[in-house]
Amino acid sequence: MDHSKHTELVPMLQQRLRSSGPEGTPLGGRYGILLSFTGTVERDIVPHLLQLAERSLATSGCSRKEMKRVLFVTIEAVQNVIHHGYIDPSGDIALYLTLENTPIGFQVHCGNWMATSDAAALSERVSHLNSLNHAQLRKLYIDVLCNGEQSGNQGNAGLGLISMAKRTRGPIEFVAEPPKDGVQHVTLTATIEP
């Protein structure tokens, strides 16, 4: 995959930003995009993204408890990209991220490139987690925590994704574009209901 794939995320983010939100809701109203980012991602950018997200959430009027859940899901979504995103020939991982206030709750949209095999595995994992209720998610989290293999590079056997599922209180959406050159664009959307 050439470096031009990296810049293809910008139009995808711009398309998301042009949408006006729920029918009849003007931009600048109660609902809409609170934060958007597109670019390369590394561990050192995560605190800056969180600081911006926290400031945006503070002005939205959400509760402190809700803010913590949204920030946690945002961290896990970005960490997922850092751990599993496609590394282009120049050594970069591309990301687009939006945080949106919608009538059904806050939504974190996280998009990036993934190897086709990794995208298929993530799709299966998300589908499995979406089939579990909250009690089953808690049990799975404890089981993975106690029995999972720790890897400094990959995290702890999917704990982040399980934690996201616990905090969303709704299904995580996973969309993958058709593959090109062994990679595909994927978007993970988590809705944090009030």
Map out the domains of the chain as residue ranges. 4-192
Q: Which of 71, 39, 72, 77 is nearest to 55 (CA)?
A: 71
Q: What is the pLDDT of residues 83-111, one digit of tens each?
A: 899 999 999 999 999 999 999 999 999 99
Sheet holding 105-115, edge to edge: 32-40, 94-102, 105-115, 183-192, 172-176
Angle formed by the axes of helices 159-168 and 134-147, nearest 10°: 160
**Average model confidence (pLDDT) for the chain?**
84
CATH architecture of 4-192: 2-Layer Sandwich (3.30)
pLDDT in the model for residue 78: 94
Query: What sign has the CA pseudo-torsion 4, 91, 45, 159?
Result: positive
Report how far Cα 122 is from the mean position of its chain's Cα atoms. Answer: 12
Give me the DSSP letters along 68-128. HHHHHHHHHHHHHHHHHSPPPTTS--EEEEEEEEETTEEEEEEEEEEEHHHHHHHHHHHHH
Q: What is the pLDDT of residues 9-47, one digit of tens each?
A: 656 655 655 554 545 444 445 788 999 999 999 889 899
Query: What sign has the CA pseudo-torsion 115, 116, 117, 121?
Result: positive
Q: What's the whole-model pTM score?
A: 0.81
| Mean pLDDT, residues 120-128 taken together | 93
Q: Which of 68, 66, 65, 74 is nearest to 45 (CA)?
A: 74
Which DSSP symbol is given to 26?
A: -
Which DSSP symbol is given to 193?
A: -
| Alpha carbon separation from 34 to 59, 92, 108, 127, 175 (Å, rounded) | 9, 26, 10, 28, 22
Tell me the chain's radius of gyration from C-alpha atoms: 16
pLDDT in the model for residue 132: 93
| Mean pLDDT, residues 43-53 taken together | 92
